[in-house]
Chain A
Amino acid sequence: MTDIDALAARLRAEIGVRRVLTDRQELRTYECDGLAHYKVVPALVALPVTAEQVAAVVRACAETGTPFVARGSGTGLSGGALPHADGVLVVTSQLREIVEVRPEDERAIVQPGVINLQVTKAATPHGYYYAPDPSSQQICSIGGNVAENSGGAHCLKYGFTTNHVTGLEVVTPDGERVRLGGPAPDAPGYDLLGAFVGSEGTLGVATEVTVKLTRLPETVRTLLAGFPSTDQAGAATSAIIAAGVVPAAIEMMDVLAIEAAEAAVRCGYPAGAGAVLIVELDGPAAEVEAQFDEVSALCSEHGAFETRVAADDTERALIWRGRKSAFAAVGRISPDYIVQDGVIPRTALPTVLRRIGEVAAEHGVRVANVFHAGDGNLHPLVLFDDAVPGQASRAEAVSGAILDLCIEHGGSITGEHGVGVDKAKYMPRMFSDDDLDTMQLVRCAFDPAGIANPGKVFPTPRLCGERPGRHQGTHPMHAADVAEIF
Chain B
Amino acid sequence: MGALDELTSPAGEQDAVCGVPARLVAAPRDTAEAAALVTAARGLAVVIRGGATKLDWGPPPRELDLIIDTRRLAGVVEHAAGDLITVVRAGTPMAELHGLPGQQLALDAPPSATAGGTVAANASGPRRLRYGTARDLLIGITVVRPDGTITKAGGKVVKNVAGYDLGKLYTGAFGTLGLITECVFRLHPVPAATSFVRAAAPPLHAAKILAGQFAASALEVNAAPGAEPELAVLLEGTPAGVRERAAAVAELLDGEVSAEAPEWWDVPPWPGDGVGIKLTGTLSQVPALVATAVGAGATVRGSAGAGVLYAGFPTDDTGRAVELLRAAAVRAGGHAVVLTAPAGVRETLDMWGPVHGLALMRRVKDQFDPGHRFAPGRFVGGI
A binding-site residues for B, Cβ under 8 Å: 102, 104-107, 127, 148-149, 151, 155, 159-160, 162-163, 172, 178-180, 182-195, 197-199, 215, 217-218, 238, 241-242, 244, 246, 283-287, 290-291, 343-347, 372, 375-377, 410-419, 423, 427, 430-432, 434-439, 441-446, 457, 467-468, 470, 472-475, 477-479, 481, 483-486
Residues in chain A near residue B274, CB distance under 8 A: none
A413 to B207 CA separation, bound complex (whole angstroms): 42
How many CB-defined contacts (below 8 Å) exist between A and B?
A: 306
Residues in chain A near residue B356, CB distance under 8 A: 178-180, 182, 187, 189, 484, 486
| A435–B152 CB distance below 8 A | yes
| Residue B55, interface by CB 8 Å | no
Query: Given contacts A434-B151, A446-B360, is CB(A184)–CB(B157) below 8 Å?
Result: no
| Residue B267, interface by CB 8 Å | no
Residues in chain B near residue A184, CB distance under 8 A: 280-282, 307-308, 329, 332-335
| B153–A241 CB distance below 8 A | no
A413 to B159 CA separation, bound complex (whole angstroms): 10
Query: Given contacts A191-B172, A198-B164, is CB(A244)–CB(B358) below 8 Å?
Result: no
| Residue B284, interface by CB 8 Å | yes
Closest to A416 in B: B161
| B164–A472 CB distance below 8 A | no
- 10 further interface pairs, Cβ-Cβ under 8 Å (given A159-B136, A193-B168): A178-B360, A192-B357, A195-B168, A218-B213, A284-B237, A410-B156, A415-B161, A435-B163, A438-B143, A444-B367
In the assembled complex, how far is the CB of residue B339 from the closest CB belonging to chain A, in whole angstroms?
10
A483 to B333 CA separation, bound complex (whole angstroms): 16
| B282–A215 CB distance below 8 A | no
Of the candidate stretches B290-298, B314-322, B373-381, the one touching chain A is: B373-381
| Residue B110, interface by CB 8 Å | no
| A343–B370 CB distance below 8 A | no
Residues in chain B near residue A443, CB distance under 8 A: 164
Residues in chain A near residue B190, CB distance under 8 A: 244
Residues in chain B near residue A104, CB distance under 8 A: 207, 283-284
| Residue B261, interface by CB 8 Å | no
Residues in chain A near residue B380, CB distance under 8 A: 188-190
A39 to B262 CA separation, bound complex (whole angstroms): 62
| Residue B62, interface by CB 8 Å | yes
In the assembled complex, how far is the CB of residue A480 from the closest CB belonging to chain B, in whole angstroms?
11
Query: Given contacts A182-B333, A194-B168, A438-B149, is CB(A286)–CB(B245) below 8 Å?
Result: yes
| A284–B354 CB distance below 8 A | no
A423 to B102 CA separation, bound complex (whole angstroms): 38
Query: Given contacts A183-B333, A284-B213, A427-B162, is CB(A188)–CB(B237) below 8 Å?
Result: no
In the assembled complex, how far is the CB of residue B9 from the closest CB belonging to chain A, in whole angstroms?
27
Residues in chain A near residue B80, CB distance under 8 A: 345, 347
A104 to B85 CA separation, bound complex (whole angstroms): 34
Residues in chain B near residue A442, CB distance under 8 A: 164, 166, 169, 364, 367
| B169–A244 CB distance below 8 A | no
* A180: contacting residue among B332, B335, B353, B357, CB under 8 A: B357
| B215–A191 CB distance below 8 A | no
A302 to B285 CA separation, bound complex (whole angstroms): 50
Residues in chain B near residue A106, CB distance under 8 A: 210, 283
In the assembled complex, how far is the CB of residue A14 from the closest CB belonging to chain B, in whole angstroms?
24
Closest to B326 in A: A486
Closest to A412 in B: B160
Residues in chain B near residue A238, CB distance under 8 A: 82
Within 8 A of A (CB), among B261-283: 278, 280-283
Query: Digit string of B48-63 for contact with A (CB within 8 Å is 1, else 0)?
Result: 0000000000000010
* A484: contacting residue among B62, B354, B366, CB under 8 A: B354
Residues in chain B near residue A483, CB distance under 8 A: 353-355, 358, 381
In the assembled complex, how far is the CB of residue A343 from the closest CB belonging to chain B, in whole angstroms?
5
In the assembled complex, how far is the CB of residue B365 from the closest CB belonging to chain A, in whole angstroms?
8
Query: Given contacts A188-B353, A194-B135, is CB(A102)–CB(B282) below 8 Å?
Result: yes
| A427–B163 CB distance below 8 A | yes
In the assembled complex, how far is the CB of residue A465 from the closest CB belonging to chain B, in whole angstroms?
10
Query: Given contacts A184-B307, A343-B157, A485-B354, is CB(A195)–CB(B169) below 8 Å?
Result: yes
Query: Given contacts A184-B281, A199-B164, is CB(A286)–CB(B382) below 8 Å?
Result: no
| Residue B240, interface by CB 8 Å | yes
Query: Digit string of B188-230 for contact with A (CB within 8 Å is 1, else 0)?
Result: 1111100000000000000100110111000000000000000
| Residue B42, interface by CB 8 Å | no
In the assembled complex, how far is the CB of residue B246 from the closest CB belonging to chain A, in whole angstroms?
10
| Residue B150, interface by CB 8 Å | yes
Query: Given contacts A410-B155, A416-B159, is CB(A197)–CB(B165) below 8 Å?
Result: yes
Query: Given contacts A238-B82, A442-B169, A457-B163, is CB(A127)–CB(B211) below 8 Å?
Result: yes
Closest to A343 in B: B157
A282 to B285 CA separation, bound complex (whole angstroms): 29
A486 to B214 CA separation, bound complex (whole angstroms): 37
| A286–B241 CB distance below 8 A | yes
In the assembled complex, how far is the CB of residue B162 from the closest CB belonging to chain A, in whole angstroms?
5
In the assembled complex, how far is the CB of residue B78 from the closest CB belonging to chain A, in whole angstroms?
10
